[in-house]
């Protein structure tokens, strides 16, 4: 089903249809939805065959049977059923899933595939034999070990270069390797008497080894030194991750009486059921994406703490109760601190991920209210497009270039803030890969003759790259205790 496609032609064909059906006019979203619609149309047009038994005048379809035994008996076929994959329903799911604005989307042409990405490593050999790379990164079991001196028959020689800025792991230059141990990991385990060392290559885009392109502590060569010194090499490595389409599925049934009686009110019962099922799928996908962002954001803080860049709570925003404010401080000035926290998280993403600052934030309803209340904060203004109209359920607006979204499913007193960077799918981070956004099957129950509708969505949510967590940050708004007094409600700080 995967075919060479003309992306410009696909966008020209599908963009007007999508815009008319959903109202979406964002160029990036129209691009991936057009590609998805193209793949979906190919799926719908696929020919399905059913066997005909010549010994019968009229044969029913029989029991439902799914294809199986592809490894040993490729002739085994299914029952010939083909579920109707309703494109309008799929477009509704894609349009209403607001979390798809937070991650890049790459449509899948089939239920499985490979997601490939490149990285550059420092003079990489292989880690599984005696051909050692020049530089390696080992886990924290070697913390405190600086240089590992050679011991005959035990281990080779390793010079400590520094700690990784990403996760605090130790980086070593491999001077020599003990041939008896066959690989670097075993060699280092021997040095630590079986500590269970995990070894990996040093990635050039995330970590940096001072002095690699010069001499000593990152000093340049003189002309004479440059002429007689060979250049050190950066290695290119291609890595692939297998991607499998996972499934969300839900069904609903209505009675014949409901179908008949609701018509007098102009209500299509089946259409209403489909709308509920679409809402269920979109909420499930939204929750999945946001929960994964939260997990990666917390992991980024943990690793940044291990690397010694920040403390585990330094990103949190502490606010003071209104009764303890003095010196010109107001509730507005306290709420204004939340913005500073969002900007700090966005810049931390730029610092650790080295691909750009964070460009979106997800907050709860009470935090969104606080941001809306200070959108026009005069004493210390900031660039923003925050709407102060009540009822802004999803996008609240942008703050200093960071688009803010409200998660209505979070509790009123949820003070977590998620900040992330939506890339183009070529860098690290979460990538959403839809195969079938919505597949609908409608049946009639034999006992009651009432319609039943089942909808499923198949997609993959992939953590791409070596350090996807660097593209997200999670922090919390906390209460600072002053004179034994803390606030319990963010809106009034009491």
d(C-alpha 398, C-alpha 404), whole Å:
6
- pLDDT at 412 (0 to 100): 92
Q: Please provide the DSSP assignment of 459-480 as one string.
A: EEEEEESS-GGGGEEEEEEEEE
Q: Give the tens place of pLDDT for each residue, 414-443.
A: 999 999 999 887 788 999 988 888 787 888
Q: Is residue 282 part of a domain?
A: yes
Residues 6+ apart with CB under 8 A from 58: none
189 has pLDDT over 90: no
Of the chain, the end-to-end C-alpha distance in Å amounts to 60
Same domain, 310 and 416: yes
Residues 6+ apart with CB under 8 A from 470: 166, 206, 300, 349, 352, 353, 354, 428
Number of domains in the chain: 3
- pLDDT at 44 (0 to 100): 60
Same domain, 229 and 367: no
Longest dimension (CA), the chain: 95
Min mean pLDDT across 214-223, 357-366, 382-391 is at 382-391
pLDDT-based confidence at residue 363 (cuts at 50, 70, 90): very high
Min mean pLDDT across 43-52, 103-112, 254-263, 387-396 is at 43-52
Domain endpoint, select from 239, 262, 291 = 239
344 has pLDDT over 90: yes
Same domain, 294 and 208: no
Q: Is residue 93 part of a domain?
A: no
Same domain, 283 and 218: no
Same domain, 235 and 261: no
Mean pLDDT of the chain: 78
Residue 324 is given by DSSP the state: G
- pLDDT at 87 (0 to 100): 56
Same domain, 230 and 285: no
Same domain, 48 and 127: no
- Torsion sign across C-alpha atoms 163, 169, 170, 171: negative
Same domain, 205 and 249: no
- With vertex at residue 469, the alpha carbon angle to CA 465 and CA 472, rounded to the nearest 5 degrees, is 125
* Range of the structural domain that residue 281 is part of: 245-480
pLDDT-based confidence at residue 341 (cuts at 50, 70, 90): very high
pLDDT-based confidence at residue 80 (cuts at 50, 70, 90): very low
Residues 6+ apart with CB under 8 A from 353: 421, 427, 428, 467, 470, 471
Q: Give the tens place of pLDDT for each residue, 118-164.
A: 778 887 666 665 566 788 888 766 656 677 777 666 677 888 888 88
Q: Is residue 41 part of a domain?
A: yes
Q: Give the tens place of pLDDT for each residue, 376-421.
A: 655 556 666 766 555 444 678 888 889 999 888 899 999 999 999 9
Q: Is residue 494 part of a domain?
A: no
**Per DSSP, what are the bridge partners of residue 116?**
240
d(C-alpha 97, C-alpha 24), whole Å:
12
Q: What are the φ/ψ torsions at residue 76 (nearest 5 degrees)?
A: -70, 125
Same domain, 61 and 170: no
d(C-alpha 121, C-alpha 379), whole Å:
49
d(C-alpha 352, C-alpha 470), whole Å:
6
Spatial CA neighbour of 407 closest among 343, 361, 374, 370: 361
Same domain, 232 and 251: no
d(C-alpha 388, C-alpha 492), whole Å:
17
Q: Is residue 85 part of a domain?
A: no
Min mean pLDDT across 4-18, 68-82, 332-346 is at 68-82
Spatial CA neighbour of 1 closest among 146, 163, 110, 164: 110
67 has pLDDT over 70: no
pTM of the model: 0.77
- Torsion sign across C-alpha atoms 429, 104, 107, 67: positive
- pLDDT at 259 (0 to 100): 84
- pLDDT at 160 (0 to 100): 84
Residue 130 CB-density burial (10 A; 0-12 exposed, 13-18 middle, 19+ buried): middle
Q: Is residue 180 part of a domain?
A: yes
Residues 6+ apart with CB under 8 A from 319: 334, 335, 337, 477, 478, 479, 480, 487, 490, 493
d(C-alpha 202, C-alpha 198), whole Å:
13
Q: Is residue 103 part of a domain?
A: no
297 has pLDDT over 50: yes
Domain endpoint, select from 47, 78, 109 = 78
pLDDT-based confidence at residue 52 (cuts at 50, 70, 90): very low
Q: Please provide the DSSP assignment of 363-393 as one string.
A: E-HHHHHHHHHTTT-SSS---B----STT--
pLDDT-based confidence at residue 357 (cuts at 50, 70, 90): very high
d(C-alpha 181, C-alpha 128), whole Å:
11
| Higher local confidence (pLDDT), 23 or 276 | 276
| Higher local confidence (pLDDT), 196 or 158 | 158
Question: Best-predicted range by mean pLDDT among 16-30, 259-273, 298-312?
Answer: 298-312
Same domain, 12 and 62: yes
Task: Return the percentage of the chain with pLDDT > 90, whole number.
Answer: 19
What stretch of H or E contains 430? Answer: strand 429-444
Q: Is residue 206 part of a domain?
A: yes
Residues 6+ apart with CB under 8 A from 200: 127, 136, 137, 138
Same domain, 272 and 327: yes
- Torsion sign across C-alpha atoms 21, 432, 42, 272: negative
Domain endpoint, select from 213, 239, 265 = 239
């Amino acid at each position: 089903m995967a075919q060479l496609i003309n992306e410009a032609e696909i966008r020209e064909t599908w963009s007007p249809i999508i815009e008319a059906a959903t109202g979406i006019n964002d160029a990036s979203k129209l691009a991936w939805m057009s590609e998805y619609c193209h793949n979906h149309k190919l799926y719908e047009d696929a020919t399905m065959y059913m066997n005909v038994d010549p010994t019968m005048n009229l044969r029913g379809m029989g029991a439902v049977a799914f294809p199986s035994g592809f490894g040993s008996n490729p002739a085994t076929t299914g029952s010939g059923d083909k579920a109707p994959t309703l494109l309008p329903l799929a477009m509704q799911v894609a349009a209403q899933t607001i979390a798809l604005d937070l991650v890049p989307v790459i449509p899948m042409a089939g239920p499985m595939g490979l997601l490939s990405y490149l990285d550059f490593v420092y003079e990489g050999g292989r880690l599984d034999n005696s051909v050692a790379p020049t530089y390696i990164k080992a886990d924290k079991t070697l913390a405190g070990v600086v240089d590992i001196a050679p011991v005959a028959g035990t281990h080779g020689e390793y010079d400590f270069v520094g700690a990784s800025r990403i996760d605090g792991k130790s980086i070593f230059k491999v001077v020599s390797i003990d041939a008896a141990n066959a690989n670097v990991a075993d060699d280092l385990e021997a040095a630590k008497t079986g500590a269970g060392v995990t070894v990996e290559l040093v990635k050039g885009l995330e970590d940096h080894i001072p002095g690699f392109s010069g001499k000593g502590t990152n000093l340049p060569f003189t002309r004479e030194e440059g002429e007689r010194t060979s250049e050190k090499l950066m290695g290119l490595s291609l890595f692939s991750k297998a991607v499998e389409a996972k499934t969300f599925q839900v069904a609903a049934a209505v009675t014949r009486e409901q179908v008949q009686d609701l018509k007098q009110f102009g209500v299509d019962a089946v259409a209403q059921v489909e709308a509920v099922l679409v809402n269920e799928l979109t909420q499930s996908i939204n929750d999945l994406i946001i929960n994964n962002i939260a997990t990666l954001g917390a992991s980024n803080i943990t690793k940044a703490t291990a690397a010694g860049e920040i403390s585990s709570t330094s990103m949190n925003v502490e606010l003071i109760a209104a009764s303890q404010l003095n010196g010109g401080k107001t509730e507005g000035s306290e709420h204004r601190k939340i913005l500073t926290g969002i900007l700090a998280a966005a810049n931390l993403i730029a610092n650790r991920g080295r691909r750009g600052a964070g460009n979106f934030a997800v907050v709860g309803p009470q935090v969104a209210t606080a941001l809306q209340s200070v959108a026009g904060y005069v004493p210390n203004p900031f660039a923003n497009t925050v709407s102060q109209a009540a009822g802004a359920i999803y996008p609240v607006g942008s703050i200093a270039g960071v688009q803010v979204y409200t998660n209505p499913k979070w509790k009123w007193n949820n003070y977590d803030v998620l900040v992330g960077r939506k890339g183009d799918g070529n860098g690290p981070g979460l990538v959403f890969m839809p195969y079938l956004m919505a597949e609908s099957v409608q049946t009639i129950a034999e006992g009651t003759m009432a319609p039943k509708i089942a909808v499923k969505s198949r997609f993959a949510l992939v953590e791409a790259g070596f350090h996807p967590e660097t593209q997200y940050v999670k922090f919390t708004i906390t209460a600072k205790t002053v004179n034994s007094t803390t606030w319990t409600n963010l809106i009034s700080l009491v």
